[in-house]
Amino acid sequence: MNGSGKTLSFLVVEDNPADRRLIEVALNDLDYAAESRCLIASVDTLADAIAHLKASDTLPDVVIQDLHLPDAVGMEALEAVRKDTGNAPVIVLTGLDDSAVATEALARGASDYLEKRDLAARTLWRAIRYAMEHKKKELQLRRLANSDPLTGILNRRAFFDRLRLEIAHTSRSDMHCGVLVFDIDKFKQINDLYGHETGDTLLVEIARRVGGQLRETDALGRIGGDEFAVIAPNIRDADGALEVARKIVDAVDGIGVVNGQNINPVVSVGIAIYPSDHSTADMLISHADLAMYKSKNTSRRIHYYDERMDHDAKARHRTKARMREDIAAGRFGFDYQPIVDARTGAIVAAEALARWRGNETVSPSEFIPLAESAGWINDLSFGLFDELCTHLHELTAGGLPRVPIAFNLSSLQYRDAAFASRLVAAIHAASIDPGLLNVEVTESTVIEDIDMAVRTLGALRTCGIGVHLDDFGTGYSSLSILKVLPLDALKIDRTFVADVCINAGSRQIVEAVASLARNMELSTVAEGVETQEQADLLRDVGIDHLQGYFFSRPLAFDEFRTLLGASCGQDRAANNGLSVVNGHARSRRAS
Ligand code: C2E
Ligand code: CA
Ligand code: CA
Q: Which ligand is nearest to the CA of 378?
A: 1
Residue 384 near residue 564, CB atoms below 8 Å: no
- What residue owns the CA closest to ligand 1's atom 12? 528
**Measured in angstroms, how far is the CA atom of residue 78 from the centroid of ligand 2?**
73
Q: Which of 216, 211, 271 is nearest to 238 (CA)?
A: 271
pLDDT at 479: 67
Residues 172 and 53 in one domain: no
pLDDT at residue 294 is higher than 60 = yes
Q: Which ligand is nearest to the CA of 371?
A: 1
Q: Which of 422, 413, 477 is nearest to 440 (CA)?
A: 413
Q: Which of 274, 305, 336 is the last residue of a domain?
A: 305
**Measured in angstroms, how far is the CA atom of residue 335 from the centroid of ligand 3?**
15
Dihedral pair phi/psi, residue 349, rounded to 5°: -170, -175
Identify the domain containing residue 39 by its residue range.
Answer: 7-145
Q: Which of 271-275, 305-309, 324-328 has the lowest mean pLDDT?
A: 305-309
pLDDT at 590: 34
pLDDT at residue 32 is higher than 90 = no
Average pLDDT of the residues in 383-402: 94
Tens of pLDDT, residue by residue over 114-167, are 888 888 889 999 999 988 888 888 787 777 788 898 999 999 989 999 999 999
The answer as to whether 124 is a domain residue is yes
- Give the number of the atom of ligand 1 that is nearest the alpha carbon of residue 353: 38
Q: Which of 98-102, 228-232, 393-397 has the lowest mean pLDDT?
A: 98-102
Average pLDDT of the residues in 243-253: 95
Residues 121 and 178 in one domain: no
Percentage of residues of the chain with pLDDT beyond 70: 93
pLDDT at residue 555 is higher than 60 = yes
- What residue owns the CA closest to ligand 1's atom 22? 528
- Give the number of the atom of ligand 1 that is nearest the alpha carbon of residue 547: 15
Average pLDDT of the residues in 461-478: 83
pLDDT at residue 370 is higher than 70 = yes
pLDDT at 568: 63
**Measured in angstroms, how far is the CA atom of residue 439 from the centroid of ligand 2?**
8
Residues 24 and 139 in one domain: yes
Average pLDDT of the residues in 447-472: 92
**Measured in angstroms, how far is the CA atom of residue 157 from the centroid of ligand 2?**
45
Residues 61 and 194 in one domain: no
pLDDT at 5: 66
Q: Which of 491, 527, 534, 546 should be mutated for ligand 1, with most atoms under 8 A from CB?
A: 527
The answer as to whether 374 is a domain residue is no
Average pLDDT of the residues in 447-457: 87
Q: Which of 35-39, 332-336, 426-430 has the lowest mean pLDDT?
A: 35-39
pLDDT at 116: 86
The answer as to whether 233 is a domain residue is yes
Q: Which of 382, 462, 374, 365 is nearest to 419 (CA)?
A: 382
Percentage of residues of the chain with pLDDT beyond 90: 56
pLDDT at 85: 82
Strands (E), 443-488: 466-472
- What residue owns the CA closest to ligand 1's atom 24? 364
pLDDT-derived band at 278, boundaries 50, 70, 90:
low
Q: What is the CATH number of the domain that holds 112?
A: 3.40.50.2300
Q: Cα dihedral sign for 309, 291, 157, 148? A: positive
pLDDT at residue 316 is higher than 90 = no
Residues 84 and 211 in one domain: no
- What residue owns the CA closest to ligand 1's atom 20? 528
pLDDT at residue 49 is higher than 60 = yes
Task: Provide the pairing of β-strand 261-262 with 257-258.
Answer: antiparallel
pLDDT-derived band at 326, boundaries 50, 70, 90:
very high
Q: Which of 335, 340, 351, 353 should be mutated for ligand 1, with most atoms under 8 A from CB?
A: 353
pLDDT at residue 574 is higher than 60 = no
- Give the number of the atom of ligand 1 that is nearest the alpha carbon of residue 550: 18
Kindly report the average pLDDT of the chain as a whole number.
Answer: 88
pLDDT at residue 451 is higher than 90 = no
Q: Which of 94, 58, 60 is nearest to 77 (CA)?
A: 94
pLDDT at residue 360 is higher than 70 = yes
Higher pLDDT, 306 or 123: 123
**Measured in angstroms, how far is the CA atom of residue 528 from the centroid of ligand 3?**
8
Tens of pLDDT, residue by residue over 179-193, are 999 999 889 888 888
**Measured in angstroms, how far is the CA atom of residue 407 from the centroid of ligand 2?**
7
Q: Which of 13-22, 67-76, 252-261, 308-317 has the lowest mean pLDDT?
A: 308-317
pLDDT at 480: 66
The answer as to whether 316 is a domain residue is no
- What residue owns the CA closest to ligand 1's atom 21? 528
Q: Which ligand is nearest to the CA of 471?
A: 3
- Give the number of the atom of ligand 1 that is nearest the alpha carbon of residue 549: 18
pLDDT at 589: 37
Average pLDDT of the residues in 529-557: 97
Residues 170 and 89 in one domain: no
Residues 135 and 182 in one domain: no
Q: Cα dihedral sign for 129, 135, 140, 141? A: positive
pLDDT at 446: 84
**Measured in angstroms, how far is the CA atom of residue 250 from the centroid of ligand 2?**
37
**Measured in angstroms, how far is the CA atom of residue 440 from the centroid of ligand 3?**
8
- Give the number of the atom of ligand 1 that is nearest the alpha carbon of residue 442: 34
pLDDT-derived band at 307, boundaries 50, 70, 90:
confident
Higher pLDDT, 366 or 437: 437
pLDDT-derived band at 62, boundaries 50, 70, 90:
very high
Residues 137 and 166 in one domain: no
Residues 137 and 194 in one domain: no
**Measured in angstroms, how far is the CA atom of residue 353 from the centroid of ligand 1?**
6
Those residues whose C-beta lies under 8 Å from the C-beta of residue 314, and which sit 6 or more positions away, are none
pLDDT at 144: 79
Q: Which of 290, 305, 320 is the last residue of a domain?
A: 305
Average pLDDT of the residues in 546-575: 82
- What residue owns the CA closest to ligand 1's atom 27? 364
Tens of pLDDT, residue by residue over 418-440, are 999 999 999 999 999 999 999 99
Q: Which residues, judged by CB distance below 6 Å to any ligand atom, belong to the binding site of ligand 1?
A: 337, 353-354, 363-365, 368, 381, 384, 407-410, 440, 470-471, 494, 527-530, 548-549, 554
The answer as to whether 229 is a domain residue is yes
| Pairwise CA distance, residues 19 & 42, whole Å | 11
Is the full-model pTM beyond 0.85?
A: no
pLDDT at 475: 60
Those residues whose C-beta lies under 8 Å from the C-beta of residue 541, and which sit 6 or more positions away, are 507, 510, 511, 514
The answer as to whether 62 is a domain residue is yes
Tens of pLDDT, residue by residue over 343-353, are 999 999 999 99
The number of folded domains in the chain is 2
pLDDT at residue 90 is higher than 80 = yes
Those residues whose C-beta lies under 8 Å from the C-beta of residue 146, and which sit 6 or more positions away, are 154, 155, 157, 158, 161
**Measured in angstroms, how far is the CA atom of residue 501 from the centroid of ligand 1?**
22
- Give the number of the atom of ligand 1 that is nearest the alpha carbon of residue 491: 3
| Pairwise CA distance, residues 314 & 370, whole Å | 13
Rg value, the chain, Cα: 36
The answer as to whether 417 is a domain residue is no
Higher pLDDT, 40 or 373: 40
pLDDT-derived band at 578, boundaries 50, 70, 90:
low
pLDDT at residue 38 is higher than 70 = yes
**Measured in angstroms, how far is the CA atom of residue 491 from the centroid of ligand 3?**
7
Residues 108 and 179 in one domain: no
Residues 129 and 179 in one domain: no
Higher pLDDT, 493 or 480: 493
The answer as to whether 534 is a domain residue is no
- What residue owns the CA closest to ligand 1's atom 32? 365
**Measured in angstroms, how far is the CA atom of residue 294 from the centroid of ligand 3?**
23
In Å, the largest CA–CA distance within the chain is 119
Q: Which ligand is nearest to the CA of 548?
A: 1
pLDDT at residue 581 is higher than 50 = no
The DSSP code for 516 is H
Residues 124 and 166 in one domain: no
Q: What is the CATH number of the domain that holds 300?
A: 3.30.70.270
Q: Which of 92, 112, 145 is the last residue of a domain?
A: 145
